[in-house]
Amino acid sequence: MAQHTEIERKYEIDDGAAIVIESFAGPDGPIVADEPRTWRLVADYVDTPGLALAAHGITLRRRDGGEDAGWHLKLPTAKDTRQEVHEPLGVGVHHVPARLAALVAAHVRGQELVPVATVETTRTTRRLRDRDGQVVAEIADDVVVGHRLDDHAERSASWHEVEIELVNGSPELLESLDPVLRQAGAVPAAASSKLRRVLGDDLAARPRRTPGRTAGEALIAYLRRQRDRLLTYDPLVRLADHDDDSVHKMRVAVRRMRSLLRTHARLLDRAQARALDAELKWLADTLGDVRDLEVLTARFDRRLADRPAGLTRGDAPRWPGQLATREREARRRLKDALSTPRYFALLARLDDFLADPPFTARAGRKARRLSPRLVVKSWCKVLDKYARAERLPTGTEREHALHSTRKAAKRARYTAEAATPALGKPAAKLARRAEDLQEALGRYQDAIVAQRQLTEIAERPGPSPDDAFTLGLLLGTERGEAADALRDLPPARRHAARTAKQLRALKR
């Protein structure tokens, strides 16, 4: 299973028009185009009957022709960027490769993957080279005919587009090429993929989601956004074999949902909210096992790489490799968990919860009136926990109290984020201030966790003198990091407290 990151932009041009780019000024010098080559490509796209993949910007196709014939799964990761996974052509469009089907299992959930569209493309490509002859990008001029397949009728559409895909070039190259294309008559494409262009109204007809005026509607809008993020990162987590931030982002989406279920508990039936929260906690803990080890492994690798040469003794220590092994094992357990009936039952329960929320009467109140109270209440909990931690002497109890303060700061941040559509800038500003406090507390917590891990490693039987020396150096560094983080806490707390006063005014 081959994969790579695809960074591209699409432009539309008039039928019959031609855009010929021989050379232009790139960000680092002149760019020259190779001679053109022409291909005929036929791509069959598969999806669920309800277009579950396309609704999340995912495309799964079997394409014949060109230099990369085969199955292609494209997963959106950022603007203009997708993770592309390849498998061989196989025997036909009705036999989706098992590894690709597994990556989209959370979206498909046992439904049949069926052909939904066929796209025929006459493609003329030119490779773009820099002054050293390196291929930096490829420009593709595509004349396209698309056919929508469903049970009722076959609909067709034709158009002309240009794709620019980076190869070894920088994103700045796309920016420098943009005015060249526009001057030649191209305009940015309205659809992010050929499939979306073919599906047309089948996707556009889906109802737009708005934050809503009631507190309950605002809550569900926020939870729905986090559910969608969870689903976006699910296939990336299944695909990853190293820290690519997908586990972290999926975990944050789960945390945001759990936080809102708690801070908005009085808007929801308690039993149903607690049942959903319990399953989300299971998922968060499973993701957390990987993420915590990712953070530690990266942290220690960075510390070891930064050691002054004169302080390096002996061979490289063995214990970082042991941490990396634990991380790989945790990642394997996570991927196993994402294939269990429990996980798919959680997704189904979450969908049902969002489709038919178990609201109490309180959820019908106007968001602009109720949200300030929820935000202020969550922030008061942060202040209470912070004050308690300040009164405690240095030691384990204070460390736990500051960690509890950090978790409260996260809940305050997420509550303010959810209230931003109703309350505007004051809520958005408090969310940022709460994030600042959360990050300062996070730096402290990471240093404390690192110290505990280093102490545990040092106390194992049989460490070499060189290992003991290195562990001692790292332990001193982490103690200094914790002290620095503590010095940043009071200013972060004061800034957030000042912002919270504006929300108290709204509360009145």
Predicted TM-score of the model (pTM): 0.90
Cα Rg of the chain, angstroms? 27
- DSSP type of residue 363: G
Q: What pLDDT is stored for residue 310 in this prediction?
A: 46
Segments in the chain below pLDDT 50? 310-311
Assigned CATH class of 2-204: mainly beta
- C-alpha dist (Å) from residue 149 to 6, 119, 456, 478: 27, 11, 60, 60
As a whole number of angstroms, the distance between CA 104 and CA 75 comes to 9
Q: What pLDDT is stored for residue 389 in this prediction?
A: 93
Both structure tokens of 346: 């959680």
As a whole number of angstroms, the distance between CA 390 and CA 408 comes to 15
Angle between helices 396-423 and 425-458 (to 10 degrees): 150
To the nearest 10°, report the CA torsion of 28, 29, 34, 36: 80
Q: Tokens 């390196």 sit at which residue?
A: 134
Backbone torsions φ then ψ of 369, nearest 5 degrees:
-90, -35
Tell me the three state secondary structure of residue 286.
helix
Backbone torsions φ then ψ of 494, nearest 5 degrees:
-65, -40
Q: What pLDDT is stored for residue 497 in this prediction?
A: 76
Identify the architecture of domain 210-365 in CATH: Alpha solenoid (1.40)
